[in-house]
Amino acid sequence: MTRLILLIVALTAVAQTTQVVDLYTPRDLTAMRQQMGRKANSFRDLQKYGNHYTMLAHRETTGSSEIHEHEADIFFVREGDSVIVTGGKMVGGHLQKPGELRGTSIEGGQKRSLKAGDVIHIPAGVPHQILVTPGKPITYFVVKVTGQ
């Protein structure tokens, strides 16, 4: 009987965590961006779920090139415009943490413009880098899909 009760409690807990619904309105995201402060490049983790998590990112300068070995990225551009480089070969790559490589740039990748309203999916293992034009910041909502 005790095992049955524990099983029911465990299944109830799983059901509750898998049915969380989060809504972020444009007003919510703007308020979160303002709370992130004045750092040139800032990131705010929002929620973690079973196989993915969400973030809000703001860049005023070009960051490092990245390869996520086990995570896909989906960016929803909220404000601003930029260029993203995908594919090619990472230059100066080093291990940032397990499954995460960072570098200085990308050679031979494909450049695409990003602007407010655009959505881009970057599969796990694909080098990518957002190139920010000075004075033209970009803010984007991120979904990171894990376990790729």
Predicted pLDDT at 11: 45
Predicted pLDDT at 34: 87
What DSSP character marks residue 107?
E
Distance CA 33, CA 39 (A): 11
pTM value > 0.85: no
What DSSP character marks residue 116?
T
Residue pair 58/33 in contact (Cβ under 8 Å)? The answer is yes
What DSSP character marks residue 49?
-
As given in the structure block, the two tokens for residue 19 are 């049915």
pLDDT digits (tens, 9 = 90+) for 36-60: 877 788 899 999 999 999 999 999 9
Cα–Cα distance list, 97 to 25, 45, 69, 128 (Å): 32, 17, 11, 17
pLDDT digits (tens, 9 = 90+) for 84-136: 999 999 999 999 999 999 999 999 999 999 999 999 999 999 999 999 999 99
Distance CA 27, CA 125 (A): 33
Pick from 110, 129, 139, 144: which is nearest to 34 by CA?
139
Q: In DSSP terms, which residues pair with 21 in a beta bridge?
A: none
Distance CA 108, CA 87 (A): 7
Predicted pLDDT at 18: 60
Residue 72's SS3 state is strand
Residue pair 84/111 in contact (Cβ under 8 Å)? The answer is yes
pLDDT digits (tens, 9 = 90+) for 62-85: 999 999 999 999 999 999 999 999
